[in-house]
Amino acid sequence: MRSEIPPEVHGNGRFLLKRQNFTPAYLKTFEGGRLQEKIDQALGLLASCTVCPRNCRIKRLEGEICICKTGRYAKVASFSAHLGEEDILRGSKGSGTIFFSGCNLGCVFCQNYDISQEAIGGEVSPKELARILIRLQEAGCHNINFVTPEHVVPQILEALPDAIRLGLRLPLVYNTGAYDSLDSIRLMDGVVDIYMPDFKLWNEETCRKYLLAPDYAFHAKQVIRAMHGQVGVLKVDEEGLALRGVLVRHLVMPEMSEDTAAIVGYLAQEISKDTYINVMDQYYPSWKVMTGGEYREIDRRILPSELRQAYQQAQQAGLWRFDTRWRRDAPV
């Protein structure tokens, strides 16, 4: 064990998974002959789309589009070895991120609104998506990081057999806003190694106003519980790199400490006090917030006191495994 890896990462060995003992979940599912069954079930959800909680019921297999602006095939905005993710994901060579175009949420503060709302990017076939996974592996990335995958679960599954036959062996990260359906998360059981949901907001009214999804917290609670049931708390290898488990992100927002308190309380009481969490300070006004009007109250950066309060709320709830960019000795 490298001495610079802090106790909150490996828990004195409690959360250590030796890399030599690690096999990506999807390889076992593929070798057991169960992956094709999952693909068939997932594509069936596209016929009258129920892939996410929106339940738009459009015919995506025929190319129809609705809120997520994605039809039969996934759209990719970009892919790269990303060095801006959590230390336990990016390591020294980066997390192999694939930014999918479109989104099933309508976050008025979205910092990537050109990707999520304007859906820039191009369609990719299953074989093309498989080759992207292999290119990221060949670049030396530590994992494959699917960003905003909620609406393209069938397309991801459909690409995996070709990627596996081409030699894919990296852990898969499901990097989601947590507005997923239980059907999709169940299909990802035995496929995803690391779930990284962003638990955004809690109160129904704030979810309606800022995410355009009043039922967001209801679904986030359900799917995070299901994710934890599949892979458990986050486990890392000897170098401190994530291999399997759940990592929760929470973006601290101006004037929303009550939402933060409810979210960290839920994670500690209903999921696990050992949940690994990134309390994020990256919020800044973007997209619709910049126009002022009804969003004036969040038209500012968060205050240092708000970030400190969020950490205190998490600690008081019993959480203790924090992403703090430990290679740079960032304070909690």
Instruction: Map 16-43 to HEC letters.
Output: ECCHHHCCCHHHHHHHCCCHHHHHHHHH
Position 302, amino acid: I
User: Quick one: CA torsion of 261, 266, 271, 273, rounded to 10 degrees?
Assistant: 40
Q: Tokens for 140?
A: 């030396």
Distance CA 286, CA 299 (A): 8
Sequence-distant (6+) residues with CB within 8 A of 97 are: 79, 80, 81, 82, 85, 145, 147, 175
Alpha-helical (H) ranges within 233-303 are: 257-266
C-alpha distances (whole Å) from 27 to each of 21, 129, 172 are: 14, 17, 11
pLDDT at residue 5 in the model? 74
Q: Which of 166, 236, 213, 222 is nearest to 17 (CA)?
A: 236
Distance CA 55, CA 285 (A): 30
- C-alpha torsion sign, points 320, 149, 239, 84: negative
Number of DSSP helices (H) and strands (E) in the chain, helices first = 12, 10
**Local confidence pLDDT in tens for the 332 residues of the chain:** 344 677 888 787 899 999 999 999 999 999 999 999 999 999 999 999 999 999 999 999 999 999 999 999 999 999 999 999 999 999 999 999 999 999 999 999 999 999 999 999 999 999 999 999 999 999 999 999 999 999 999 999 999 999 999 999 999 999 999 999 999 999 999 999 999 999 999 999 999 999 999 999 999 999 999 999 999 999 999 999 999 999 999 999 999 999 999 999 999 999 999 999 999 999 999 999 987 688 999 999 999 999 999 999 999 999 999 997 654 434 44
Can you give the residue ranges of every domain in the chain?
7-328
Using the structure block, give the residue that is written with the tokens 């609406």: 151
Whether the Cβ atoms of residue 41 and residue 187 lie closer than 8 Å to each other: yes
Where does 7-328 sit in CATH, by number? 3.20.20.70
* Beta-bridge partner residues of 122: 76
Reading phi first (left if > 0) and then psi (alpha if -120 to 50, else beta), residue 245 is in left
Position 178, amino acid: A
State the DSSP H helix or E strand holding residue 97, giving kind and residue range, or none if neither. strand 95-100
Whether the Cβ atoms of residue 288 and residue 109 lie closer than 8 Å to each other: yes
Residue 95, SS3 per DSSP? strand
Q: Tokens for 225?
A: 């519980």
